[in-house]
Amino acid sequence: MAGLDLNKKLWRIPQQGMVKGVCAGIAQYLDVPVKLIRLITVLAMLFGLFFFVIVAYIVLSFALDPMPDDALYGEKQPSSGDLLDTVDDELAAGEQRLREIERYVTSDTFTLRSRFRQL
């Protein structure tokens, strides 16, 4: 384990879970194999913590939100810097297009074509 990331959120992952995805969510949060979390859960149930494990699992299955599909399959959400760069590029392209239109409207070619249309 390289350490916990403070920006991580604890989800339940029903797409990867056997029952509700609580063990899969805990394993993803702790960055350990799911089988290890399941093994610890079963061993805790066998060694006298059956009631505690069942209650905790039920509480977590209702308390944790399911992981969205886009987060599960690695579709990275763009950062605010990426979004600002995209908006800046689009504004620059729009400004360039506006300058081209302005250049055409103020040209002699546009004036000549307008005169021919009026005839």
Using the predicted structure, report yes or no on whether residue 13 has a pLDDT greater than 70. Answer: yes
The two three-digit tokens of residue 109, written as one number: 């070619």
Residue 60: how many CB atoms within 10 A of its CB? 17
Query: Residue 5: its pLDDT value, please?
Result: 53
Q: Are residues 62 and 28 in the same domain?
A: yes
Q: Are residues 59 and 85 in the same domain?
A: no
What is the DSSP code string of the chain?
-----TT----B-TTT-SSSSHHHHHHHHHTS-HHHHHHHHHHHIIIIIHHHHHHHHHHHHHHSPBPPHHHHTT-PPPPHHHHHHHHHHHHHHHHHHHHHHHHHHTSHHHHHHHHHHH-
Query: Residue 4: its pLDDT value, please?
Result: 52
Beta-bridge partner residues of 66: 12
**In which domain, by residue range, is 37 found?**
1-76
The total number of structural domains that make up the chain: 2
Q: Are residues 24 and 41 in the same domain?
A: yes
Average pLDDT rounded to a whole number, residues 84-108: 90
Q: Are residues 71 and 84 in the same domain?
A: no
Single out the residue of 6, 34, 4, 20 nearest to residue 64, CA to CA.
20
Per-residue pLDDT reduced to its tens digit, 39-86: 888 898 888 888 888 898 888 888 877 776 666 555 566 677 878 888
CB-CB contact of 14 with 62 (8 Å): no
